[in-house]
Structure 1
Amino acid sequence: MISVLLVDDDQELTGMLSQYLEREGFEATAVHTGEEGEVEALSGRYSIVVLDVMLPQRSGIEVLRRIRAVSQVPVVLLTARGDNIDRITGLELGADDYVPKPSSPGELVARLRAIMRRVQSAGQPTTEMIKTGALVLWPGKRQALWHGVELGVTSTEFSLLEELARSAGQVVSKKDLSLNALGCPLTRYDRRIDVHISSIRQKLGPRPDAKAWIQSVRGLGYLLIAE
């Protein structure tokens, strides 16, 4: 059973979400402060964390920063509708996705399932390896090496990098990246992919010519340069 940690100071909301998640086959636990959320998220007891950005005292962004310093547990942010700054900051810090508040519990469940499908694929036995230049990916282990060193990508970043690596040297549309890597259709003004790609670029560093390894192709999508 997938265990979900809900971190939100709105006890009525977490009660409703817990009931909905349990009806959908999840195991849900709720805490109501950032301090509690950080401790529980790092306990190793949860498959995925749903973290509200607007927490009292210690914000959700700060909690996420502390979690990512030591753990790659999947994190979905709950953000105020239209608050792009928190969304972008959260994705840059390593959040796997975000869901605006208010939103339907069904949307949250769909996002959780999409992320967990990607994470659980790591448990499937496979010897498949994808190699392009200095980049080596093992989809079965969700492991990425860059020049022989662990790249340290999140689950969502790995999925995007895998899609680009499978088509290295070719443009992959944002529509295909959204469907195949994020598990959801691309929507207008959605910047998830752009922010995740920016994070991956920073981890890869620049090419010898100072250009990025992942190129934007205006109006089309992204291209991973093949050595």
Structure 2
Amino acid sequence: MPTPPERSDHILIVDDDAEIRLLLGRYLEKNGLRSTAVADGRAMWRALDEGAFDLLVLDLMLPGDDGLTLCRKLRASSELPVLMLTALGDETDRIVGLEMGADDYLAKPFSPRELLARIKSILRRTRSLPPNMQAAPGERLCFGGWTLDTVQRQLIAPDGQSTPISGVEYKLLHVLATHPQRVLSRDQLLDLTQGREADPLDRSIDVQVSRLRQRLNDDPRNPALIKTVRGEGYVLSASVTAAAP
């Protein structure tokens, strides 16, 4: 029997500029991707309800709910990769977008070729880890007495109190918690949490791990939860269970 053709990735574009929607849709389809383009948040939610998508290209400046608000709401129930677009070049907007859960950020004006490269990079890194446990939308990940709430994006201590955690720290802990007892390299962690290639001198993952250990009251000299595997990376050594909220 003939081998069925592979399903091409389906990209949802949300931008209120009709010309951009048309241009991007045509370019992505010319390069082997399927695309659906809508103009605002309401149409985005309808599209997500009606179909399955592999990545969301989301403009920051939209009528009604803006891109940051939509991204935050989406992250309460979905890990769909998000590439944020903006006409603003302010680094603050980029940081806020990443804190809200965007996987990457691209400032307008941009070339369709660059957008395609970013899309492929996001899809590649979100699929770069071997499958392990996957948190269903709305679940809590429990380990070592701690709970990571994937709806509120909060870390809950064993005594039930919420522990402050940044967006970057949440992403890092979420990656570790959905791949428990598996060693993840610094390159993998940097790529998955911050959306960029690793620099040999980049120690930001080490800094974030150090901060997470402080949040988790994990002794840095002899950590019980996030352990260092010399020459390889980090591992969440505790077993993880998923529970309904």
Do structure 1's residue 208 and structure 2's residue 208 form an aligned pair? no
Do structure 1's residue 33 and structure 2's residue 40 form an aligned pair? yes
- Once the 2 structures are TM-superposed, how far is the Cα of residue 142 of structure 1 from its aligned partner? 6.1
1:141 alignment partner in structure 2? 132
Larger-Rg structure:
2
Q: Which runs of 5+ in 2 are unaligned?
A: 1-7, 136-140, 154-166, 227-232, 239-245
- Once the 2 structures are TM-superposed, how far is the Cα of residue 3 of structure 1 from its aligned partner? 0.4
The residue type equivalent to 2:20 in the other structure is L
Distance 1:142 1:54, change over 3 A: farther
Distance 2:195 2:93 in 1: 22
1:99 alignment partner in structure 2? 106
CA RMSD of aligned residues (A): 4.2
- Give a deviation string over 1:74-113, Cα, whole Å, max 9, x none: 1111123422232222211211111111111122111211
- Kept after mapping to 1: 8 A contact 2:57/2:84: yes
- Once the 2 structures are TM-superposed, how far is the Cα of residue 69 of structure 1 from its aligned partner? 1.7
- Once the 2 structures are TM-superposed, how far is the Cα of residue 44 of structure 1 from its aligned partner? 4.2
1:219 alignment partner in structure 2? none
- Once the 2 structures are TM-superposed, how far is the Cα of residue 121 of structure 1 from its aligned partner? 4.7
Question: TM-score, normalization: structure 2?
Answer: 0.59
- Kept after mapping to 2: 8 A contact 1:51/1:75: yes
Distance 2:191 2:71 in 1: 26
Identical residues among aligned pairs (%): 36
Distance 1:56 1:207 in 2: 40
- Kept after mapping to 1: 8 A contact 2:83/2:104: yes
Distance 1:185 1:208, change over 3 A: closer
- The structure 1 residue matched to 2:74, chosen from 67, 78, 98, is 67
Question: TM-score, normalization: structure 1?
Answer: 0.63
- Once the 2 structures are TM-superposed, how far is the Cα of residue 186 of structure 1 from its aligned partner? 5.9
Q: Which runs of 5+ in 1 are unaligned?
A: 123-138, 188-192, 215-221
List aligned pairs for 1:1-227, cutoff 5 A: 1-121=8-128, 139-141=130-132, 143=134, 147=143, 152=150, 157=172, 161=176, 166=183, 172=186, 178=190, 184-185=196-197, 201=212, 206-208=215-217
- Kept after mapping to 2: 8 A contact 1:42/1:71: no
- Once the 2 structures are TM-superposed, how far is the Cα of residue 184 of structure 1 from its aligned partner? 4.4
Distance 2:118 2:63 in 1: 25
- Once the 2 structures are TM-superposed, how far is the Cα of residue 4 of structure 1 from its aligned partner? 0.4
Distance 2:218 2:131 in 1: 33
Distance 1:159 1:69 in 2: 13
- Once the 2 structures are TM-superposed, how far is the Cα of residue 64 of structure 1 from its aligned partner? 1.1
- Once the 2 structures are TM-superposed, how far is the Cα of residue 15 of structure 1 from its aligned partner? 0.8
Q: How many residues align?
A: 189
- Kept after mapping to 2: 8 A contact 1:53/1:86: no
Structure with the larger helix share: 1
1:136 alignment partner in structure 2? none
- Once the 2 structures are TM-superposed, how far is the Cα of residue 45 of structure 1 from its aligned partner? 1.9
